[in-house]
Amino acid sequence: MSVTPKSFLGEITALTIATPDIDASFACYKKLGFTEVFRADWPFPWMQVSDGVLLIMLRKDPQPYLALTYYVKDLDKVVSLLGKKGIEFVQKPKKTDQVRRYLFLSPDGLNISLVGIVDGFAQPPGPGMLAMLPEDYFKPEKYVNKTIGLFGELAHRVKDLKASLAYWALLGFKAVSKFEHPYPWAIVSDGLSIVGLHQSAHFSYPAITYFAADMKLKIDRLKKAGLTNFTQKNDVDVVLTMPEQQHIFLFNMGMPAAAKPTAITLHTLETKRLLLKELNPEVLRQIYSTCTDDEAMKLVGVATKEQLDAERAKFENGMTTYRTSFKTFVLIEKATGNAIGKCGFHNWYAMHSRAEFGYLMEDESARGKGLMTEAARAVIAHGFEAMGLNRIEAFVGPQNVPSLKIVTGCGFVQEGVLRSHFCRDGIMEDSVIFSLLANEYEQVKLLWKDK
């Protein structure tokens, strides 16, 4: 989704929210993924907080209040332009005011304020929802705010959508999307702000709206973090009321209809004693957004909720980037049906047909039986034959005798030693670097059969 306007209202946009207790409000916003940007007591106590996309100005005031605020370099020019468009200001600055501020209201009562820009203020870098590819909406690891997802809109109730669209067009907003169901509504933007205009009786207050493909999981975590003032709309959508009475919609985006599986089936490699279940970014995305914790633990191959949380955190923090990806396999022992370890490729550079090979036998009772070598050979074959790799490399600690036996037993060639290459328990240690090339693989594969 893209938007073409460039805002003429100002250079920075924020939501100004009044609160009787800035610290109490900030404590809750912090749990939503926001951090403090600025704080001051002049000309009244205030704090700027941001999640990297949305900027919020918490202002100390006992009266509930929300405004769509623009910080403006040439305030007189913008005020004059709006006046020519017929915009009437309900509040103007006095000569004695240290901060110049204009306020006007939308036809449906939304406060819109223009404030002289303050040195040091900056627009969060984003990217926001409108700057993202639609397919990335369903990739939680790409969200800037990993806690509650994508800021979608300031939801604003209107009486007449057609009339509201005409008014917001005067302010430089363009309709990004329009809908008729379940009621008439539209998303408008001026390139800085995103406002949802809802001709609806479903709510009566302006609400900050976030979307996520895995919102149910995110809400569960918010509850565990101590947030309590939720109103449940359904299984995955809630309204959170903040201490200052600001409402936040937390809506589940779901997976695209074409991508919603009735069941997640993992691609499987098979050896004599093992089934190797493939995990990749798309599979993990589906698991973490659609599965219960018990289902996810079984698919990811972990035994405890703590291990699952750790794996999920690694994924959401960015195991894949525009340069690198990964593909790993959960080792299932046929005799027991238990997940005993993992083997696969991390730091997979598809552009260079190169990947780093790694493995971990988590079940101590399965060690010493040759199972990891059996799995490693199947995964290496998959790398060369199915993934088109030209080079597979492995980094092994010089003292890790079992691991050295695995790579040498799979035909890897030692290339050298990388000094102080990795940190273990605060101590820098060397790595022995091994590699296996595609033009060596066929000969090595013949040696596997002889062993």
Residue 269 has pLDDT above 80, yes or no: yes
pLDDT reported for residue 281: 81
DSSP string, 237-297: -EEEE-TT--EEEEEE----GGG--SS----EEE-SSEEEEEE-HHHHHHHHHHS-HHHHH
Confidence of residue 262 (pLDDT cuts 50, 70, 90): very low
Residue 108 has pLDDT above 90, yes or no: yes
DSSP state of 129: G
Give the tens place of pLDDT for each residue, 33-86. Answer: 999 999 999 888 999 999 999 999 999 999 999 999 999 999 999 999 999 999
pLDDT reported for residue 3: 44
Task: Please count the other Cβ atoms lying within 10 Å of the Cβ belonging to residue 299.
Answer: 21
- DSSP lists the bridge partners of residue 139 as none
CA 419 to chain centre: 35
In sequence order, the 6+-apart residues with CB closer than 8 A to the CB of 49 are 26, 29, 30, 34, 35, 36, 37, 55, 56, 58
Q: CA–CA separation, 213 vs 329, rounded Å? A: 24
**Domain range summary for the chain, segments of one domain joined by +:** 1-254, 268-449
Maximum mean pLDDT: which of 176-190, 276-290, 421-435: 421-435
| Assigned fold of 268-449 | Aminopeptidase (3.40.630)
What's the one-letter identity of residue 385? E
Confidence of residue 407 (pLDDT cuts 50, 70, 90): very high
Confidence of residue 321 (pLDDT cuts 50, 70, 90): low
Per the structure block, which two tokens stand in for 128? Answer: 């926001």
Residue 319 has pLDDT above 80, yes or no: no
DSSP state of 11: S
pLDDT reported for residue 263: 58
In sequence order, the 6+-apart residues with CB closer than 8 A to the CB of 366 are 333, 340, 341
Which residue, among 206, 193, 168, has the nearest Cα to 82 in the 3D structure? 168
The SS3 assignment for 306 reads helix
Residue 259 has pLDDT above 50, yes or no: no
Give the tens place of pLDDT for each residue, 175-192. Answer: 888 888 778 999 999 999
For residue 166, the surrounding DSSP H or E stretch is helix 161-170
DSSP state of 91: B
Q: Which of 199-203, 261-265, 307-311, 340-344 has the lowest mean pLDDT?
A: 261-265
Confidence of residue 123 (pLDDT cuts 50, 70, 90): very high
Residue 261 has pLDDT above 60, yes or no: no
Task: Please count the other Cβ atoms lying within 10 Å of the Cβ belonging to residue 32.
Answer: 21
Mean pLDDT for the chain?
Answer: 89
Is the backbone peptide bond immediately before 127 cis, with ω within 30 degrees of 0?
yes
CA angle 61, 67, 69 (to 5 degrees): 115
As a whole number, mean pLDDT of residues 381-405 equals 94
CATH superfamily placement of domain 1-254: 2,3-Dihydroxybiphenyl 1,2-Dioxygenase, domain 1 (3.10.180.10)
pLDDT reported for residue 257: 39
